[in-house]
Structure 1
């Protein structure tokens, strides 16, 4: 039997986690994993939607925000041990893992590792990401020069045009962005076993990066129940629909 989780989270969070809502007696913890190029701050506005009984945490990967001086990671597997260590002090209350795009792959890998250690999360929620056994329909970006890579970012729509137009800022961000895309492009599990965790998947109705049918493919991995929620929007529907998503996550009977 795996050892029990340790005492509740202290006031000093590990560098991998940013807290946005402090609950005096939380009933559950919601840990959110950002998409490629993003930091924990993309989940700041969720604090007003998750309710007083939910502790809201967001993952901060190396190479951004307060960790901008650290080298970025290039493989999902590289992040998992540190994520497990960061989540370990949360106590025994139910844990919900939510991730969008690359964040969904990270949340899934973390959920699988937690389950392997006898500590499965109460819910895995994935958003804007094809199921891990489905290969990408586009070629990887590692062969693109900087100009073509920036055009790819522009086509996705997640990077503000003023950021893309600033050469100095892009020079600073490109190593981290390329590393995140390498992490995302390289994550594939051709024949994954079912995960003993319920899975809730969110898809954008107009998302051409992760189409609804590809997001629905997560059902193959859901060993404890599956549901799919399709919302209006393209690949970054997360921003327009974050209140709806947060309410879906925290209305679960956990």
Structure 2
């Protein structure tokens, strides 16, 4: 592969060069979002902290690629990209963070890293029920087109100009349906505890994923757990960026 088509460049995006990173924060976006979701996070981090965002197919410069159907599909290429990006040095302190769908992706990646003998320093999940908690709403695949669009309006994460544009919605709905389906299908009835610390964030006004569903992640925390309820709805991660980042970097 050339430098421009490498797995690392396809799947990971860094927002600033860091010559000698002391640790890496790997961020996974929520449904419908891309790496750009995390473009400003480095502004509140130390110059020695490297922040990378996962680029999923079906959006941004990968718009023409098929969307993923399962969380498991993302793990091997993310691991390959991470290994390539870190020059094989998976022993560097690594923090995994994901919000909503991204939390499932971060969790699955953490499990894979642990299986390879390279556990991350910390797993941080946000705005998502724990893997063993079943879906307690109608599955996205069972919603009509009108019901799905109503759901997007209610969640509040889709920009109003997108919701108001028939052309943009025609482009975005297949991606959003695919991501919601991938998120809905992720379920592990009896996951083993992780041998790493786990931090969870929940929106106190999140009607989609209440605080008590996020609190269930504690059952997977084999090396310490902290729950941080923060003001906001399901997309509290955006206005609470600085608080979340401070907690992550101080915990690891």
Structure 1 and Structure 2 fold alike (TM over 0.5): yes
How far 1:93 moved relative to its partner?
Answer: 1.1
Query: Contact 2:67/2:178 (CA < 8 Å) preserved in 1?
Result: yes
How far 1:21 moved relative to its partner?
Answer: 2.9
Aligned equivalents of 2:246, 2:44: Cα separation in 1? 6
User: Which runs of no fewer than 5 residues in structure 1 stay unpaired?
Assistant: 1-10
- Is 1:56 matched with 2:55? no
How far 1:145 moved relative to its partner?
Answer: 2.2
User: Which runs of no fewer than 5 residues in structure 2 stay unpaired?
Assistant: 1-5
Query: Contact 1:31/1:59 (CA < 8 Å) preserved in 2?
Result: yes
Query: Contact 1:203/1:230 (CA < 8 Å) preserved in 2?
Result: yes
Q: Which residue of 1 aligns with 2:3?
A: none
How far 1:209 moved relative to its partner?
Answer: 1.1
Alignment deviations for residues 130-150 of structure 1 (CA, whole Å, 9 cap, x no partner):
111001221101122222211
Alignment deviations for residues 120-168 of structure 1 (CA, whole Å, 9 cap, x no partner):
1110000001111001221101122222211111111100111011111
Give the alignment's TM-score, normalised by structure 1: 0.93
- Is 1:108 matched with 2:103? no
Aligned equivalents of 2:212, 2:45: Cα separation in 1? 28
Q: Which residue of 2 aligns with 1:167?
A: 166
Aligned equivalents of 2:147, 2:228: Cα separation in 1? 33
Query: Contact 1:21/1:57 (CA < 8 Å) preserved in 2?
Result: no
Q: Which runs of 4+ in 1 moved over 4 A?
A: none
Q: Which residue of 2 aligns with 1:212?
A: 211
- Is 1:233 matched with 2:242? no
Aligned equivalents of 1:113, 1:13: Cα separation in 2? 17
Query: Contact 1:205/1:232 (CA < 8 Å) preserved in 2?
Result: yes
1:52-131 maps to which residues of 2 (within 5 A)? 52-89=47-84, 90=86, 91=89, 92-131=91-130
Tell me the secondary structure at the aligned position of residue 37 of structure 1.
coil
Q: How many residues matched?
A: 243
Query: Contact 2:8/2:82 (CA < 8 Å) preserved in 1?
Result: no
Aligned equivalents of 1:226, 1:59: Cα separation in 2? 25
Query: Contact 2:8/2:80 (CA < 8 Å) preserved in 1?
Result: no
Tell me the secondary structure at the aligned position of residue 202 of structure 1.
strand
Distance 1:12 1:21, change over 3 A: farther
Query: Contact 1:13/1:19 (CA < 8 Å) preserved in 2?
Result: no
When the two chains are superposed, the root-mean-square deviation of aligned CA atoms in Å is 1.3
Q: Which residue of 2 aligns with 1:29?
A: 24
Q: Which residue of 2 aligns with 1:3?
A: none
Tell me the secondary structure at the aligned position of residue 124 of structure 1.
strand
